[in-house]
Amino acid sequence: MAKPLSADRLVKMLRDEGLKVHEYRNWRRHNRNSKGPWSPVHGVMIHHTVTKGTDNSVRICYEGYAGLPGPLCHGVIDKKGEVHLVGHGRANHAGLGDGDVLRAVIRETELPPDRKTDTDGNRHFYGFECVNLGDGKDPWPAAQLLAIEKASAAICRAHGWGQRSVIGHKEWQPGKVDPRGFTMGSIRERVRKRLGGSTPPKKPAPKYEPFPGAAFFRSGRNSPVITAMGKRLVAEGCGRYTVGPGPVWTGVDRESYAAWQRKLGFTGGDADGIPGKVSWDRLRVPKS
C-alpha cells in the first residue's frame, strides 16, 4: 500500500529530477478530501487541458468550473516544461475507470482495454494536466514532453514504481482521448530509460479458475475453489461470512455470491447466488 507523498517531498522529488516547480496559491491545502480518500496511490495519470495559455490553464485547474470543483489535478505542465502545483490530496482528474486497468497498474503488467467505470481513480492516481488543446494540431514542445517524462519518473522513483505505473486518461476511462498528440507507450519508454534503462522482467500474468459450471455449486460441495471464491467475495465487499470462508459450499456462500451478482447489476433470478460464467469471469478467482 503506497502512502501519498507529503507536499514537501513531492516538491523535492520534482526539483531533484531537474524540473522548475511553481507553487500556486494555497495548493498544499487545496484538495477534495472531503469527498473521499486519497490513498493508497498506485500510479501517475497524464491528461491534456483543452485550454490555451499557462496562466489561464493553471487558474482553471486550481479553481475548476461549474459542476466540477478544483483542483482538477495535482500539477499543470506548461509548454515551457515548467510544473505548476495546484493541489495536494484528492483531485477531480481521473473519475471512474476500469478496475482491471488499476489491477494491471498495481501489478505493472500490460494494460487491458478500458471497458468499465467501476473504480474511483481520484483515490489512486496522481494527475498532471498538460497545456494543450488536444485537437491533434496543437504542438507538443520537446521541453513539455521532457517535463512529462521527468514528473512521471520523479513520482515513480519516490514510490519504487516502474514505467508501467504511468498511464493516460484515455487508458483509464472509456471515451476519453487524452492525452492526444503522442503515445503513452513512448512516454513509458522514456520513463523506463530515466529510471535506469533496463527492462524489468515481466511479471507473470495471474491465472484464474475457469468457470466450473453452475452444477458445481451444490450443497456440500467441498473444494479449495470455493475457499478462493469466498476470499474474492470478501475482497469485493460482498462476503456475508461470520466464520470462513471455507471449502464447503453453503447457504452463506450463495448469499455472498448473490451480493456480488447484485453489485454487477444483476437482478431477480439472475442474482440467485448460483455463479454464472459472466459473473464468475468478472470475479477473477485465483487458481488455488
| Structure confidence by residue, pLDDT tens digits, 195-223 | 996 555 555 677 899 999 999 999 889 99
Q: Over the range 255-277, which residues count as b (16 or more CB within 10 Å of their CB) and which as e?
A: ebbbbbbebeebeeeebebbbbe
Three cell numbers written together for 246 = 471455507
* CATH of segment(s) 7-195: 3.40.80.10
Closest CA to 27 of 117, 116, 105, 91: 91
**What pTM was computed for the model?**
0.72
**Sheet hosting strand 43-48, strand order edge to edge:** 21-23, 83-85, 75-77, 125-130, 43-48, 166-168
CA distance 162 to 188: 9
DSSP the chain: -PPPPPHHHHHHHHHHTT--EEE-TTGGG---GGGS---S--EEEEEE-S--SHHHHHHHHHHEETTEESPS-SEEE-TTS-EEE--SS--TTS-EE-HHHHHHHHHT-PPPP-----EESTTTEEEEEE----SS-S---HHHHHHHHHHHHHHHHHHT--GGGEEEGGGTSTT---S-SS-HHHHHHHHHHHHTS--PPPPPPP-BPPP--GGG--TT-B-HHHHHHHHHHHHTT----SS---SB--HHHHHHHHHHHHHTT--GGGGSSS--HHHHHHH-PBP-
Which residues are within 8 A (CB) of 234 and not within 5 positions of it... i.e. 6 or more apart?
241, 245, 256
In DSSP terms, which residues pair with 43 in a beta bridge? 125
Is 235 exposed, middle or buried, given 0-12, 13-18 or 19+ CB atoms closer than 10 A?
Answer: exposed
79-118: pLDDT as tens digits: 999 999 999 999 999 999 999 999 999 999 999 999 999 9
- Taking CA atoms, 150 is separated from 187, 223, 265, in Å, by 10, 50, 42
> Average pLDDT for residues 42-61, to the nearest whole number?
98
CA distance 249 to 217: 7
- Taking CA atoms, 176 is separated from 5, 75, 194, in Å, by 27, 19, 28
Output the pLDDT for position 219: 87
Domain residue limits, the chain:
7-195, 214-283
Output the pLDDT for position 197: 65
The percent of residues above 70 in pLDDT, for the chain, comes to 96
**pLDDT band, very low/low/confident/very high, at 191 (cuts 50, 70, 90):** very high
120-161: pLDDT as tens digits: 999 999 999 999 999 999 999 999 999 999 999 999 999 999
